Amino acid sequence: MSVERAAGFFSPTGRSAEQSEAMRGKPHTLRVMAGVGPLIRPFGPPSPRRGEEMRRTLSGLPRMLAGFLLLFAVLVSASPASAFNPDEVLKDPVLEQRARNLTSQLRCMVCQNQSIDDSNAELARDLRVLVRERLVEGDSDKAVIDYVVSRYGEFVLLKPRLSLRTVLLWGAPIGLTLVGIFAVFVFSRRRATLEQPQKLSADEEERIRNLIEK
């Protein structure tokens, strides 16, 4: 390697003394472009290898997105669906477990399709606090349920207890439906009977035959 080329290699601009001397008389813009020229790559179509890598990356995006969505769904379904606040939790773990069992059986009177353990309604929170207060006072599970039912009725139970009232409540629609079906059946049979032509008696048939012969 010559001295001039070595000097150009170690110079900040990467040019030899002869190249620097040649560029000295040219405008500043040309000098800057000449200095960055080795760093600029010409535009052109991508190489086949790079195009194949890009196609592989793009083709894998739907699978990655599906995987993220599946992971998100699993995390959401695995998370506990409880709406109680931390300040509602009893210090005694036994009483707290009993409270959770009871609140999961009581219906939210605002939402109606959720238990008070899953509802964020203010009334549901009041009932959760009420259940825990009764347990702390020493009530049994049955006594707590009876107390809540006495205030809000059997409807507050997600699974109403079997009694004459519940039988009438849930059985009345079924009974009315059966009565309606029976009434429709009897009415259709009676109508079909009335529409059938009545048979002539023997005397009437004889009179008609005599009239025809005349």
For the residues of the chain, what is the DSSP string, one character each? --HHHHHHHHSTTS--HHHHHHHHTS-HHHHHHHHHGGGPPPP-PPPHHHHHHHHHHHHHHHHHHHHHHHHHHHHHHHS------GGG--SSHHHHHHHHHHHTTBBPTTTSSSBTTT---HHHHHHHHHHHHHHHTT--HHHHHHHHHHHH-GGGBSSPPPSHHHHHHHHHHHHHHHHHHHHHHHHHHHHHHHHSPPPPPHHHHHHHHHHHH-
Domain check: are 152 and 117 in the same one?
Answer: yes
Q: Quick one: pLDDT at residue 19? A: 52
Please say whether the beta carbons of 116 and 107 come within 8 A. yes
* pLDDT (tens digit per residue) in 9-58: 444 444 545 555 555 554 544 444 445 444 445 445 555 566 666 666 65
The answer to whether residue 16 sits within a structural domain is no
Domain check: are 145 and 104 in the same one?
Answer: yes
Domain check: are 167 and 152 in the same one?
Answer: no
Domain check: are 133 and 185 in the same one?
Answer: no
Q: With bands split at pLDDT 50, 70 and 90, how would you rate the model's confidence at 63?
A: low
Q: Quick one: pLDDT at residue 99? A: 93
53 or 172, higher pLDDT: 172
The answer to whether residue 212 sits within a structural domain is no
The answer to whether residue 185 sits within a structural domain is yes
Mean pLDDT of the region 115-129? 90
Structure tokens at 31: 């000098």
The answer to whether residue 179 sits within a structural domain is yes
The answer to whether residue 201 sits within a structural domain is no
The answer to whether residue 108 sits within a structural domain is yes
Backbone phi and psi for residue 115, each to the nearest 5 degrees, phi listed first: -80, 165
Domain check: are 121 and 181 in the same one?
Answer: no
Angle at 88 between CA 156 and CA 128, to 5 degrees: 5
Domain check: are 181 and 120 in the same one?
Answer: no
- Total tally of structural domains belonging to the chain: 2
Domain termination site, one of 140, 156, 172: 156
Domain check: are 132 and 103 in the same one?
Answer: yes
* pLDDT (tens digit per residue) in 123-136: 999 999 999 999 99
Domain check: are 169 and 148 in the same one?
Answer: no
Domain check: are 146 and 178 in the same one?
Answer: no
Q: With bands split at pLDDT 50, 70 and 90, how would you rate the model's confidence at 103?
A: very high
Mean pLDDT of the region 117-146? 92
Structure tokens at 200: 């002539």
Q: Is pLDDT of 181 > 50?
A: yes
Q: How big is the chain by its Cα radius of gyration, in Å?
A: 46
Domain check: are 177 and 146 in the same one?
Answer: no
- C-alpha pair distances (Å), 89 with each of 117, 119, 129: 12, 16, 9
In this structure, the dihedral spanned by the alpha carbons of residues 135, 137, 138 and 142, taken in order and rounded to 10 degrees, is: -50
The answer to whether residue 60 sits within a structural domain is no
The answer to whether residue 105 sits within a structural domain is yes
Domain check: are 133 and 103 in the same one?
Answer: yes
Q: Is pLDDT of 119 > 50?
A: yes
Domain check: are 167 and 146 in the same one?
Answer: no
Q: Which domain holds residue 169?
A: 163-192
